[in-house]
């Protein structure tokens, strides 16, 4: 069977228990997809041979994550998915949308649920709205794909002309090179008639938070999805003032529960979306190499490891 995974170690702020709650080693990676090879007694709605994918947590049903949901976070608090066999609660894996391969389905859980949660729970994404995604990590690329499927206008930033072309191939309307245009909020405003965008996917680059606030329209939302460890020179007072003048929102988003996963899969099936998987797919033995590739930033879309 297959088990393909997103590698998100150290990327979310819940803390990573690298030695695991059992004080043994912890199998890494948050996301996976594969075939059901055994079903427990009395389990309904799940059969041997079913194609399924994981979720972010094995307890998070809906709404914001509560404290009780944290101890079952896959790949950081309980065993991850980089393994041939793994036992899941039947309620906490979902059927893979029919048109997707395991590699593509493995790109869904963490980044896809986050991006969907941002656009359709926390935000209001309509054909007359504009979404700005920063960089080309999994959440941004999937966010761009989902926003385009919903008919919105999408602007992306990247430092690479090659990645800009890939964004364009996904239907993204405008790509700004943030190296050439460090004050990219000005360019975003130019592209939106001086107004700014409705939503930003703030992924946490150097100095991006204040620039993201500059890039929204009055009443717009900056979704804070990830934060860099570095200390910024801006004070929280300056940030609060900028937010106040924009009447803007900063919105902390941490993935989403099972209900968001279910809605996402329906959306993906309805719009026949193929989550973009990086052209390099690694073998199980190449897992270390895969982590290094992810850290190098050379990827575009999700990095997948195929487990035989």
Bridging pattern class, strands 33-35 and 51-54: antiparallel
Told to check if 239 binds a second copy by CB under 8 A, we report: yes
Annotate each residue in 41-70 with x if it binds a second copy (CB under 8 A) or - if it does not, as one string.
----------------------xxxxx---
Residue 186 interacting with a second copy (CB under 8 A): no
Nearest CA-CA partner of 277 in 259, 300, 243, 245: 300
Q: Which among 90, 76, 81 has a CA at the least distance from the CA of 36?
A: 90
Minimum distance from residue 238 beta carbon to a second copy (Å): 8
Rounded Cα distance between 308 and 305, Å, is 10
Please give the Cα distance from 42 to 102 (Å, whole number): 27
Indicate the length of the chain as a whole number.
308
Between 150 and 250, whose beta carbon lies closer to a second copy?
Answer: 250
Stretch that binds a second copy, among 30-38, 133-141, 233-241, 266-274 (CB under 8 A): 233-241
Nearer to a second copy, 113 or 307 (CB): 113
Smallest gap from residue 190 Cβ to a second copy (A)? 16
Q: Which stretch binds a second copy (CB under 8 A): 80-88, 166-174, 185-193, 248-256?
A: 248-256
| Joined tokens for residue 199 | 């939503």
Identify the residue whose tokens are 């487990």. 307
Q: Which is nearer to a second copy, 218 or 292 (CB)?
A: 218
Q: Which residues contact 54 (CB under 8 A, 6 or more apart)?
A: 30, 31, 32, 33, 74, 81, 88, 92, 93, 109
Q: Among residues 46 and 195, whose Cβ is nearest to a second copy?
A: 195
Of 38, 47, 169, 231, the one binding a second copy by CB under 8 A: 231
- How far is residue 83's CA from residue 79's CA, in Å, rounded to a whole number? 9
User: Least distance (Å) from a second copy to the CB of residue 271?
Assistant: 26
Task: Tell me the three state secondary structure of residue 224.
Answer: strand
Q: Residues 190-209 vs a second copy: string with x where CB under 8 A?
A: --------------x----x
Name the site residues for a second copy (rule: CB under 8 A): 13-14, 63-67, 204, 209-210, 218-219, 224-232, 234-241, 243-254
């Amino acid at each position: 069977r297959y088990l393909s995974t997103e590698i998100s170690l150290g990327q979310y702020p819940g803390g990573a228990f690298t030695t695991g709650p059992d004080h043994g080693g912890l199998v890494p990676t948050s996301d996976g997809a594969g075939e059901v090879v055994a079903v427990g007694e009395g389990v309904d709605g799940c059969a041997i041979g079913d194609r399924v994918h994981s979720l972010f947590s094995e307890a998070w049903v809906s709404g914001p994550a509560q404290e009780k949901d944290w101890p079952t976070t896959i790949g950081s608090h309980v065993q991850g998915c980089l393994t041939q066999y793994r036992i899941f609660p039947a309620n906490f894996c979902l059927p893979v949308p029919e048109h997707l391969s395991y590699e593509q389905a493995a790109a869904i859980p963490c980044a896809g649920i986050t991006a969907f949660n941002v656009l359709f729970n926390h935000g209001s994404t309509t054909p007359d709205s504009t979404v700005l995604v920063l960089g080309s990590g999994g959440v941004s690329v999937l966010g761009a794909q989902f926003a385009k499927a919903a008919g919105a206008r999408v602007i992306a930033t990247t430092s690479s002309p090659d990645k800009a072309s890939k964004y364009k191939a996904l239907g993204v309307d405008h790509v700004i090179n943030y190296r050439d245009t460090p004050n990219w909020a000005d360019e975003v405003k130019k592209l939106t008639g001086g107004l700014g965008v409705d939503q930003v996917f703030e992924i946490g680059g150097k100095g991006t938070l204040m620039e993201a606030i500059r890039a929204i329209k009055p009443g717009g939302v900056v979704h804070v999805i990830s934060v860099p460890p570095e200390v910024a020179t801006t004070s929280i007072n300056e940030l609060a003032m900028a937010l106040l003048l924009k009447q803007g929102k900063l919105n902390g988003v941490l993935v989403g529960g099972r209900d968001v996963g279910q809605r996402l899969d329906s959306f993906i099936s309805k719009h026949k979306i193929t989550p973009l998987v990086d052209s390099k797919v690694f073998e199980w033995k190449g897992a270390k190499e895969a982590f290094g590739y992810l850290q190098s930033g050379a990827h575009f879309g999700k990095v997948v490891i195929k487990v035989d």
